[in-house]
Structure 1
Amino acid sequence: MGNLRKLPIVVQTNYNHFQYVAFPLCIGLATGMKDWIDSRFVHAIGFRYFSSSKEAILNLDYSNGFHGADLFDSELISRYDSTRIESIIEFIRTAIDNGRYIIAFLDKATILHLGGSPYLHDILIYGYDPTAEEILTVEFDTDRRFRAIRYRYSDFDQAFTAAQYEWRQESSEYTNCIQLLSPPENYPGFDAEFLRDELHRYRMSDPIDPERQYYDGVWWIDPRIAVSRATSFYFGIDIFDLLSIYVGDLGASSRIDYRPFHFLMQHTNGLAERFKRLFIHHNVAGGELIEHLRLHAASIDRSRMRILMYSLSDRQHSFDGLEGQISVWKTTEAELIDRAFDFLYSGAAT
């Protein structure tokens, strides 16, 4: 029957991210691109949009970060062509045998036997086991963590077939449903100049073109759809202001989304790592500033954990004081970044 066939993978957690970036990271971290990654993930973008239930939803993400098409050889399979795939199992086997990773949408309601309405979500496929007849995947599971999960051929095929049915609907917003990624033989190294520029852009909240951001990253729908849903855009460190607006609109009975706070905590830890990398690059000892950035991230994390408990509880909670705390976070972060740059440039000049 053959042996297990799989490509290198890292179930990444240090760069927690929305999946369209996190999945390529799982590949890149396993195939030697960490130095290049450390030059990215600085500038931030945020926006609000309203769901079908009229609930305001806050979305924070990195811009100018890392998307699958940045370095990988990327091929997109359109919605129409995806529906013509006769055997998704053979499609996967051929791709893996040719060294290509697959990101595909499945009906998770079918694959998890949940019943009810279809729930299309993307997963990363990195191998198959012909003996056990299983597909090897990485996905964001019900515990909101990235995990390596195996699915039997029959379950996987059924979930893909269910997704195909959804793609055929005229109301479907999907333009592409499968992405094939091939890593390059050699990745670029650490780019200190690019990183410094991105850190400056984050600090100054320089705007970017939102549609271009989504064109680069969200490969499965028309970027104009994603951008048209937003009521406003915020960039760089001003995403703290967006979070204040979101919190200020919450009523006593509102449920708060902890994920933006998780993003901020991860992002601030990321800032500490990026400045640390620059200090090392310029042979500057900036350990005290790095520690202050980590303490700043720890403050956000403490609030994140309390908010997570609120989000899991049915009890009503007051969010009085949280807006003020967010304002303090922004001021603190701006001061730390300015001090880090002053220290970096004075130390590098010395």
Structure 2
Amino acid sequence: MRWARSLGVLLLVIALASCGRFLDRSVQTRTAKPFPKQLSAWRLFTLRAGNLKPNKGVVPYDLNTPLFSDYAGKYRFVWMPPGTAAQYRDDGPFDFPTGTVLAKTFAFPVDGSSAQRLIETRLLVHASSGWTPLLYIWDNNQRDATLQLVPDPVPVKWTDAAGRRHEFNYVIPNLNECHECHDNQKIFLPIGPKARNLNKDYAYAEGSENQLAHWTRVGYLQGLPAPEARPKAAKWDDPTTASLADRAAAYLDNNCAHCHQPGGQAGYTGVDFRLTQTEIAHQGLCKSPNSAGEVGSLRYDLVPGRPDESILIYRLESTAPKTSMPALSRDVVHVEGVKLLKEWIASLPGSCPGN
């Protein structure tokens, strides 16, 4: 009997060790420093065979058109304190309650396996002092992630479904660099969770449902208008769902507009790539550059009908520091995204002086 009890305890220890410290418990939120050194202390999800499973009250979500980050897979979750909800907004991020945690984990494939290698998890915590970014870097044994201020680059390599080999150093922005994208008018804000990005179906464990409707049903969103009144961004890589112009606009909105808008890091350039801004003149059409960065002999940000003479394409195809765009979280060229924008620019009518 004593032997059986000892064996039972041993098996329990082994079972717990196999999933690290990520246990099925209630979320442990923080709204002020000090923040936990280990990601597992937040209790946002459990970890099973490299897969993150949300704990109670943690809701997974996705975006119609996400930010490109060197082909990394991304897994997004949101949690809000019980009894609280975000306030709906047509434009811009929702008004989230204090205590909200937005989590985004970045991962890359592992050749010859269905598993993925977890690289980093970024948390945006709506603390009592405002939104606070936290960077957790996953251990090599994939058991937990540790809080870091200035992470080192992570070598990654894998072969994609098309047989292309990828091998590079994945660069993780440091905490100060987070502000370059997230600050607007010197106020730190989330970027992705907007109505137009969330307005899509998600395959939840209990079945598929529109994300905005799901957030409302579980008590995470208030003020949702009727379906026909909800904005919706196009899916950039699906030509069956939207026009070329709409897909290009969605791509620019989610990959460039966090800096290129009034109050953003590149607001001084006068280029505005927000989806709600529809004047192409404000998207750089026949506009001479007024920002730092080498652009060769090119004269205009956008040259209608001539993508290879457009500075926008030049910068998207560059990986050189101070020239490439976006300036952070991209160290390889997004081949498919560039192809989309080239097709869009080629479709634009008109010409620029001297071209």
TM range (shorter): under 0.3
Q: Relative contact order, CA 8 A, sep 6+: which one is greater? A: 1
Query: Structure 2-normalised TM-score?
Result: 0.26
Query: Structure 1-normalised TM-score?
Result: 0.26
